[in-house]
Amino acid sequence: MNLGLAGKVALVAGGSAGIGLEIARDLVREGAVVSIAGRDPDRLAKAQAELAAERGGAEVGGRALDLRDEAAVRAWVDGTAAEHGALHAVVTNAGGPPAGPTSGFTLDDYRSALELSMLGHIGMVSAALPHLRRAGWGRVVMIASETVRDLIPRFALSNIVRTGLVGYAKTLVHELGPAGITVNVLAPGYTATAPLLDEITGDRAAGVRRVAEQARIPLGRVAGPEEVAAAGVFLLSDRAGFITGTVQVVDGGRALGV
């Protein structure tokens, strides 16, 4: 399937590992020009090398930064658009806040979660919007969590902050629709990425199955990051031009809400 992404310029935050890296990989395979960002310079360099191999050795852009650093994010966005003459797609992505109940956190913990899981995303989108408008074609995908659709008591910070990100996305839709820019939220469920695997000691395969059983995932397993990425890349594609303002949950059927 041709997703109409050849030649499009895309930015992927949190693109050095997990779901972000798999989205970047799929974009490269579709012929997009991709730049990724991540906090760990060594892991970022490794990811860039992997993606360059997908492009036949051609260099893939990258910037070591924290999504909460507004100035660094804006420099990355503006620099990439200037280098390639345009910007068409952005994927905002950052690590999630720690688990715990509402009463288990201080007000500073809430502020930190807000910076990480909402304001960092908004800052990247705000920096990108002038470039997307000039391009006359744009895609915004913000990666959140299944907690925006089905609250999980032990993830209080995620429940609270990430639902605010959905409100931002749905409000932005009405401002950007006339410019041909779509905005969607990708909401993964339990996924076999580093944060989940780091919690599992011993036999990881057995641990992942145990997580799936405890979470009551109908498919009986957690997602591979590439499976979540596939949904994200479709939302970035030309074929998804009439899909905007949605929350795309990828949770193996776990959520019971209608």
* Nearest residue to 148 via CA among 20, 219, 224, 251: 251
* Nearest residue to 245 via CA among 188, 189, 179, 181: 181
DSSP string covering 58-108: ---EEEE--TT-HHHHHHHHHHHHHHHS---EEEE--PPPPPB-GGG--HH
Cβ neighbours, 10 Å, residue 206: 10
Instruction: Give the whole-angstrom CA distance, residue 235 versus residue 59.
Output: 25
DSSP string covering 148-177: GTS--TTBHHHHHHHHHHHHHHHHHHHHHG
Q: What is the pLDDT of residues 178-195, one digit of tens each?
A: 999 999 999 998 888 756
Instruction: Give the whole-angstrom CA distance, residue 179 versus residue 61.
Output: 27
CB contact at 8 A, 65 and 79 = no
**Which residues, given as ranges, of the chain have pLDDT below 70?**
194-208, 212-213, 257-258
Q: Which helix (H) or strand (E) holds 117?
A: none
**pLDDT of amino acid 105:** 95
Here the tokens at position 108 are 């500073």
Domain boundaries, the chain: 9-188+223-249
**pLDDT of amino acid 25:** 97
pTM, two decimal places = 0.93
DSSP string covering 191-220: B-SHHHHHT--S-HHHHHHHHHHHHT-TTS
The answer as to CATH 3.40.50.720 being correct for domain 9-188+223-249 is yes
Instruction: Give the whole-angstrom CA distance, residue 154 versus residue 150.
Output: 12
What percent of the chain stands above pLDDT 90?
75
CB contact at 8 A, 243 and 232 = no
Q: Which helix (H) or strand (E) holds 48?
A: helix 41-54
**pLDDT of amino acid 23:** 98
**pLDDT of amino acid 201:** 55
Here the tokens at position 112 are 């930190």
